[in-house]
Structures are given as structure tokens and as C-alpha cells.
Amino acid sequence: MLYDVAADLLAARSQMAFTLGFHIILACLGVGLPTMVLIANAIGLRRNDPAALLLAHRWSTVMAVTFAVGAVTGTVLSFEMGLLWPVLMGRFGGAFGIPFAIEGLFFFLEAIFIAIYIYGWSRLSPRAHLLSGIPVAVAGIGGTFSVVAANSWMNQPAGFVLGADGRVAAVTPFEVIFNRATFYEVPHMLLAAYLVTGFLLASVYALGLLRGHADRYVRLGFLIPFVIAALAAPLQVAVGDVAARGVLEDQPAKFAAMELIAVGGSHQPETIGGILVDGKVVGGIQIPNLASILAGFSPDTYIPGLDSIPVDEQPPTAIVHLSWNAMVGIGTALVFLAVWGLVLRWRRRDYANARWFLRAASIAGFAAVIALEAGWIVTEVGRQPWVVFKILRTADAVTHAPGVQATFVAVIVLYTGLGAATLLALRGLRRRWAGQDAAAGGRAYGHAMDEAIPYGPHQGPEGPPP
Amino acid sequence: MTTVQGTAVVLWLGLTAYAVFGGADFGAGFWDLTAGATKRGAAARALIADAIGPVWEANHTWLIFDLVILWTAFPPAFAAIMSTLFVPLTLAALGIVLRGAAFAFRPVAPGLPERRAADAVFAISSIVTPFFLGAAGGGIASGRVPAGNAAGDPWTSWLNPTSMLVGSLAVATCAYLAAVFLVADARRSQPALVDYFRRRATLAALAAGALAVAGIGVLRVDAPVLADELTRRGWPLVVASAALGTAALVLLRRGISRGTRVLAVGAVVSVVWGWGVAQYPDILPGSLSLADAAAPPGSLEALLVVFVVAALVIAPSLGLLYYLAQRSRLVHRGL
Ligand code: HDD
Ligand code: HEM
Ligand code: HEM
């Protein structure tokens, strides 16, 4: 079979990156939304609050849609591990397949209980219904832990012995799962999930508040997700800081690319913006000594540069560096937003009237998604040319099947449609709810309350549109 | 039993579960497609949507389970299958995306045209996906997938008589299982549809039976090794499948629903295990044995532990899900 290796490799990498970048947004919602829904549901039941119950009910409908899209795009990823990277799986499946197997367990639980929760609104007792949501939130966390542990293993492979045939000859599962990168990647990703979900959801209600709808429903819809995201934001910066030092120690090439360090040494500046051209930083601004100070708390900290890495083992610098800047910039900005909210509270100002605060909050969701994608670009592109760090090159892992370029195009088309359909479906839901609210002359609380009553009337899928 | 054999059994259990639960799920889409015009088919479609709504995601998680077990326990086999059978498996993956997304979008579609489009996508992908998965299975069973990175032929590995047979058989079996399950669902909530699905179950059973009989001839010519092993070692299972399938057919003809589900499931399970027994001890017939493909003991033991935990945690949870669904405690919520 004749094929163009370089073009196929590029197509395979792009397809993997594209489908992962798509899935990860839904994955964040799959981890974060159940928590938000459960909080709203619990508030609703405890305080007998119809606004909270209506929010929980509507959010769970959103969750049904995004979970389904997350599940199918995740299934595609599982296929792609073999379709695109058969050599990676054939040689190392025995090692880093183990966390994936644990992931499978958690996603099974998640799929089961999410169905019980979503379909259980009308005919389970309110208490049983609420309880059925808890495994969903827990399984989301467990699933994230396992799948990110698999990714960490690619960055810091451990817990196996290589045989003469290049295959894994002995495996210690515990060391595979708890490799050196697991400790910073997993919490960082979990926090990212709550940040993304929280700020995305808060963004929607911030827009509502800006339009002057400041009833309890909109306020609560803003507050619950915003508070969670605001709590996660500072923690995220702290964990990211630990992660950065971990990367410096474990993956110096990635760190050098992140910080645009061409020549190793102490007193390294922090570069914001700019790119590396012929070993020199062009453009951007530099803050003297800052990179060294952040990395080791002293300007004397030595940071290895790209000069200590063989040329054919260096990652691309521009994209890694700029993505790194984007993530850190946004992460810092999100902390400021959280503090802003806190200050408003201290000064007893009503955030519903703080228009600049709400404007900032209304773009925070989008910004968090950008930070998420940027972070993954840093991690994945920064690992290049390795797929398994220092052990297997991406170029050697790719499939020899012809047709990757065609599937890449097909996937782009399909996912564009999928993304558009998801957004259309969500917009359709919003309109439908607005219609219900208008018909009820306020908020359609009766709707949620009816639904929450066990054995209440229910509307079949073929029922008339409300 | 060695750990390798134990893991192989776990893999096959997962495959069986997917064939039964995923199969019934796909088959429901088949009946959705053939239910007729929007108005006429509305009642059947509503029953189908109610029946699979709460369970489809769980049903399909079996596929994930299988992929993960395969790549962890028998990595080179996974690599060989996914690279040689790149085309049908890519198409199956795309079918899964389309199907799941369409199903999820259906109830939230803003208007009738969108809803119709989602219906069509759901139904067509419900047929295409099991066909390609079956075709891939046929390629493996007939020894057309050698170990290595895309070492087999990218086209004839799945465009061959055995693959076409197994693909069609997969579609027919899915339809059969679904119809049998839907008869039971109809009895609970829409008695008017009992006969409707009973007729369809009978038709699907006859189609699957006819394909199976024709298949004997196809396998003799196209996959003689598999055919030999099926008659030599797999015959009790082949016979069991035929007997159970016939018994289910008789009950259906007599209008008795009790027991048809067990018999139909038994018939499908026997076929899947017949295949497994026939190609044992190879995972890629003629090219790679289970033992040669197996990951180190540490990996297999970890998998077996995961499996035990799964059996302890997932089985009761699934039981709860199916129990609640069968008792009509999980219903489509108003939006
Ligand atoms: C909302 C998202 C978000 C935000 C605000 C931040 N990050 Fe992040 N970051 C991610 C989301 C993310 C991620 C989920 O995309 C990554 C990719 C892999 C991972 O474990 O988390 C990531 C990776 C990642 C890595 C690479 C880890 C590796 O390659 O193994 C480092 C060093 C940091 N981050 C550091 C930071 C710092 C110092 C931040 C703030 C000032 C920060 N991140 C904010
Ligand atoms: C835990 C989960 C993940 C696993 C197991 C994983 C695995 C992989 C694999 C196998 C590749 C191809 C080989 C390579 O290029 O090194 C890859 C590449 C890539 N992934 Fe990930 N990935 C994960 C998460 C993500 C996420 C969430 C994103 C989000 C954007 C992402 C972005 C990328 C990018 C941009 C590439 C291409 C890198 C390049 O080739 O330059 N990854 N990943
Ligand atoms: C950082 C990376 C990832 C995270 C945090 C993540 C998280 C999640 C979550 C929370 C779900 C539940 C569905 C949803 O909420 O939409 C999900 C679904 C899924 N993911 Fe991912 N995922 C990641 C990457 C991957 C990768 C690399 C693969 C495969 C190789 C994968 C395979 C799957 C599968 C198969 C499902 C469907 C499970 C089901 O049937 O319910 N995921 N993922």
C-alpha cells in the first residue's frame, strides 16, 4: 500500500486533537453539571423553593443533551485510540489501558444513574430522586481521575518493563495509575471542569441579569454556578503553579517551550507574547527574572533551555508558549473576577446592578473554555515529538491504514454539524422555556412542581409542544 | 482456568452483553425506520422511544467496556483489528455518533422538520452501525485480519462473503431481539401494539433463521476453517441456538409472549459463544493466539479486579435501572 506518511500523520494528529478538544468541553459539563443540578435540587427541596427546583429541572434537561453528545464523542475517541494509533495501543495498551478500564467502570455508573435521575423526576419520590443523582456526580470525578491518569502516564510513563520485542513485558498497575504527573494533572483537570461549567452557566444568567430580569430564578441561576467557579478559580492557579514546577522537573523540553527559553541559565525572564526565531525571542514583553523566581522562588534558579534538548526532540514552541500565556492570563483574570464578586458582597452592593461585573461574568464562560483548550494544547503539543514521553514517537505510533486524510475531513464536517445541532437544540430549549414562562405570566414554576410530584401527570415524547 | 482464559471469558461476556443489549437497542431503530409515515408510525415510535430512552446509554457502554478490555488485555489484537478494519470501524464509529446524537436531539428538536431529520438519522444509523460492526466481526472470524499495523487488506478484509453474511445477520438479529422486547413493552403500556410487534418479531426470526441456514453454505466456501471448527467444537451451541430460536418462533406464532425474551436472548448468546468456541485458542484466527496477544499478568489481574468490582457495583445498578424502567418508573419528562 502506498501512502504519504507525513500527510497521514498530520491528519491523524489533527483529527485526534480536534475530537479531543470537542469532547473535553462536554466532558467538563458532564463532570460539573451534575453537581450544579444537585445543589439546586437540594436547595429546592430543603427550602421548598420552586425557583431552585425549576432550575434543577431545566439544567438536568440540558445535561441530558450534553451528556449524550459527550458519550458519543467519547466513544469515537475510544475507537480512535486504535484507528489512529495502533502501535501505541499494541505496544502499551497493557500498561495505560488499566486506567481506561477503571474509567469504563465509572462511565457505566454515570450512564446508569444519569438515566435514573433524568427520567426519574416525575415518578420517584423527591428524596430517592435526589439520591440517584449523587452517583452521577461522584462517577464523573472518578472517570476524570482515571482518564487523566492515562494521559499523565503518556507524559510520565511508569510502572512497566519493556520487553525485547518493544512490547510491555511486566506491569505494576499502581505505578501506572499514580505516575508522577497524575498528582498535578488530575486535580487541575477536575478544577477546570467546575470552572468551565460554573462560568458557562453563570454567563447565561449574567446576560439575563443585564437584560433586567432579576427575579429569584435568574439570581439563583447565576449565584450557584458562579460561587462554585469562584471557589475553584484560586485553587486552580495554585494547582497550576505546582503543575508548572512538576513540568520543569519532569519534562524540561515542554517547560522551555512554554517559557521560550532558548538557552538554559539562571535569571530567566518571564516572556508574555512573542515567539522564538532562530533562538531569539521576537516580540512580546519580558519581565526580568520572573520565570526563575516563579520556578524556584529565587532569581538564581537554573532553568534548562532548548539548547540542552536534541533538535529532533524539541516541541514546537510558538503554539505551546502562546497557549501557555493564554491559560495563565485567563486563569489570573478569573481569580480577579471571583475577588470582584467577593468585594461586591463585602460592600453590600447588589451584583444584579453591577453592570461591569456582569459584563465580565458574561464572557467568563467562554474565557474558561479557551483556557481549557489552551491548557491541553500545552500538555499535548508540548510533549511532541513523543506520544509516550521519551519512549515512543508519535510518528512511529500512527496507523498505516490508508484513508486518515479522508476521515479527518469527514470528522470535521460531522462534528461541525454536531456542534451546531447541539447549540440549536439548547437554543430551542431556551425558547421553549421562555414560552412556558410567558404563558405562566412569570416563571413556569407549576411545571417543575408538577414534575416533582411522584405519580404526577406526565407528558409523553409525542405530547403537544407546550 | 488461567488468567489469559479468564480475561478472554470476560471479553466474551462483554461482547455477549453488547450483542444482546446493544443489539436490542439498534434493532429498535430498525423498527423505527420501518414504522411508516409520521402519523401512522407515531404510536410505534413513541413506544420505541419510551423503551430505549432511559437505557440506551447504558446499553452502549458495553461497547466501551469491550474496546477497553481488548486493548488492555490483548493489545496487538486490538491494534491489528483497528488498523486493518479501519474503514468499517470508522464507519461504525461515525454511525454511533449520528445515532446517539439524533436520539438525544429528537425530543428537544425545535420543530417538525428538525424532528423528522433526527428521526431519519437515528433510524438509518441504527441499521448501518450493526452492519459494519458485524462485517468487521466476519473479517476477524474468517481469518482476514493478520497481526500488525494494517497488515491485512483494507478492503477485502470486510468486503467478502463472510463479512456480508455476518453484517446482515447482525442487523436481522438486532431487529429480532428488539421486536421480542417490544412485544413485552407493549403489553405493559400499549396493548394495541402487541400483535404489531409480534408479527415483526416473527418476520425477523424467519429472516435471521434463513440467513443462518444460508450462512452454513457461505462459511463452507469462504471460511472453511471457521466452518469446520463450528461443526467440530461449536456444534452444541449451534444446535442450541437453532433450537432456542425455533422455540421462540413457535411461541410467537401461538401468541404466547411469556418466555420469548429468554429464548430469543438464549439463541443470540449461543451464536456469540459458538463463534468464540470455534476460534479458540486464537484471537485472530490463523495469525495470533490469545496467549501470544495477552498483556503481562499484572495487567490481566488488574482487569479481573476491575471486572469483579464491576460485577459487584454495575450489575445491581443496571438491575435497578432495568427494574425501574420495566415498572414504568422512568418516564419521559416534560420539557
Ligand atoms: C479552566 C481552565 C484552566 C485554567 C484557568 C488554568 N489551567 Fe492549566 N491546564 C488546564 C486548564 C486550566 C487543562 C485542564 O487544560 C490542563 C491540560 C492538562 C491538565 O492536566 O490540565 C492544563 C495544563 C497545565 C499545565 C501543563 C501540565 C502538563 O503538561 O502536565 C500547567 C503547567 C498549567 N496548566 C498551569 C496553569 C497555571 C499556572 C494556571 C493559572 C495561572 C492555569 N494552569 C490555569
Ligand atoms: C486524557 C485524555 C487524553 C489522552 C489519552 C490523549 C491522547 C492523545 C494521543 C494519543 C494523541 C496523539 C499522539 C500525539 O500527538 O502525541 C494526542 C494528541 C493531541 N491531543 Fe491529547 N489526549 C487527551 C486529552 C486531550 C485533550 C482534552 C485535548 C484538548 C484539546 C488534547 C489535545 C491534543 C492535541 C492538540 C494533540 C496533538 C498534538 C500534536 O500532535 O501536536 N488531548 N492526544
Ligand atoms: C481529559 C480528558 C477527558 C475527560 C475529563 C473526560 C471525561 C468524560 C466524562 C465526564 C464523560 C461522561 C459523558 C459526558 O459527561 O459527556 C465522558 C464520556 C466518555 N469519554 Fe471522556 N473524557 C476525557 C477524555 C477521553 C478520552 C481520551 C477517551 C478515550 C480514549 C474518552 C472516552 C470516553 C467515552 C468512551 C465516554 C462515553 C462513556 C459512556 O458511554 O457513558 N474520554 N468523558
Q: What distance in Å separates residue A217's CA from the closest CA in chain B?
A: 17
**Could you tell me the three cell numbers for B269?**
448468546
Window A:43-82, CB contacts with B under 8 Å: 57, 61, 64-65, 67-69, 71-76, 78-82
Q: Which chain B residues are closer than 8 Å to A410 by Cβ?
A: 90, 94
What does A401-418 look like in DSSP terms, one character per residue?
Answer: -TTHHHHHHHHHHHHHHH
Residue nearest to atom 26 of ligand 1 (CA): A379
Q: What is the pLDDT, as a whole number, of residue A4?
A: 65
Residues 6+ apart with CB under 8 A from B145: B80, B81, B84, B85, B139, B152, B157, B284, B287
- Which amino acid type is present at position A447? H
Contacts with B67 from chain A: Cβ below 8 Å:
78-79, 81-82
The C-alpha atoms of residue A392 and residue A86 are separated, in whole angstroms, by 12
Contact (CB<8Å) A112/B317: yes
CA distance A393 to A128: 50
Extract the C-alpha cell encoding A192.
477546570
Q: Which residue has the higher pLDDT, B109 or A151?
A: A151
Ligand 1 center to B14 CA (angstroms): 36
Nearest to B159 by CA among B86, B228, B209: B86
> Pick from B146, B88, B93: which is nearest to A403 by CA?
B88
C-alpha cell at A83: 484507528
**Residues with Cβ < 8 Å from A242, sequence gap 6 or more?**
A184
> What residue's CA is closest to ligand 2, atom 39?
A381
H-helix segments, chain B:
3-17, 23-33, 42-52, 56-73, 75-84, 86-105, 112-141, 161-189, 194-222, 224-232, 235-253, 260-279, 290-293, 297-326
CA contacts within 13 A on the Cβ side of A422: 25
* CB-facing half-sphere around the CA of B321: CA atoms within 13 A: 27
Given a contact cutoff of 8 angstroms between Cβ atoms, the answer to whether A198 and A229 are in contact is yes
> How far, in Å, CA of B18 to CA of B201, rounded?
20
Directed axis angle between helix B42-52 and helix B161-189, to 10°? 100
Instruction: Please indicate whether residue B15 or residue A121 has the higher confidence score (pLDDT).
Output: B15
Q: What percentage of chain B reaches a pLDDT higher than 70? A: 99
Residue A140 grid cell: 464523573
Ligand 3 close to Cβ of residue A31 (< 6 A): yes
Sign of CA dihedral B250, B253, B259, B261: positive
**Considering the entire predicted model, what is its pTM?**
0.93
Compute how many other C-beta atoms are within 10 angstroms of the C-beta atom of residue A87: 23
Whether A177 contacts A199, CB under 8 Å = no
As a whole number, mean pLDDT of residues B52-61 equals 81
ipTM above 0.90, yes or no: yes
Distance between CA A90 and CA A31 in Å, rounded? 30
Task: Output DSSP code: residue B152.
Answer: S
Q: How far does the centroid of ligand 1 lie from the alpha carbon of residue A113, in Å?
A: 30
Alpha helices per DSSP H over A211-251: 216-250
A6 half-sphere exposure, CB direction, 13 A CA radius = 0
Best mean pLDDT range from A316-330, B106-120, B231-245: A316-330
Cell numbers describing residue A432: 421553549
What is the predicted pLDDT for the residue at B111?
76
CA neighbor of A461 nearest in space, from A64, A63, A127: A64
Q: How many CA atoms lie within 13 A of A50 on its CB side?
A: 12
Decide if A190 touches B, using CB distance below 8 A. no
pLDDT confidence of residue B191: 84
A1 close to B (CB below 8 A): yes
What's the confidence (pLDDT) of residue A152? 97
pLDDT in the model for residue B266: 93
Q: Which residues does chain B have within 8 Å of residue A118's beta carbon, measured at their own beta carbons?
A: 54, 333
SS3 label, residue B288:
strand
Burial of B233 (0-12, 13-18, 19+ CB in 10 A): middle
pLDDT at position A164 is 86
B245, B264 in Cβ contact below 8 A? yes
Distance of CA A4 from the midpoint of ligand 1 (Å): 35
Burial B16-26 (b: 16+ CB within 10 A, else e): bbbbbbbbbbb
CA of B83 to the centre of ligand 2 (A): 19
For chain A, 466 residues long, give each residue's pLDDT as a single digit of tens. 445 678 889 999 999 999 999 999 999 999 999 999 999 999 999 998 999 999 999 999 999 889 989 999 999 999 999 999 999 999 999 999 999 999 999 988 998 999 899 888 888 889 999 999 999 999 999 999 999 999 999 999 999 999 888 889 999 999 999 999 999 999 999 999 999 999 999 999 999 999 988 889 999 999 999 999 999 999 999 999 999 999 999 999 999 999 999 998 888 999 999 898 888 888 889 998 999 999 989 899 999 999 999 999 999 999 999 999 999 999 999 999 999 999 998 988 888 888 999 999 999 999 999 999 999 999 999 999 999 999 999 999 999 998 899 999 999 999 999 999 999 889 888 888 888 888 877 777 765 544 433 322 333 333 333 2
Tell me the pLDDT of chain B averaged across its residues. Answer: 89
Structure confidence at residue A278 (pLDDT): 84
Residue pair B123/B158 in contact (Cβ under 8 Å)? The answer is: no
Q: Chain B 299-318, CB below 8 Å of chain A: which residues?
A: 299, 301-303, 306, 309-310, 313-314, 317-318
> Which residue did the predictor score with more confidence, A250 or B59?
A250
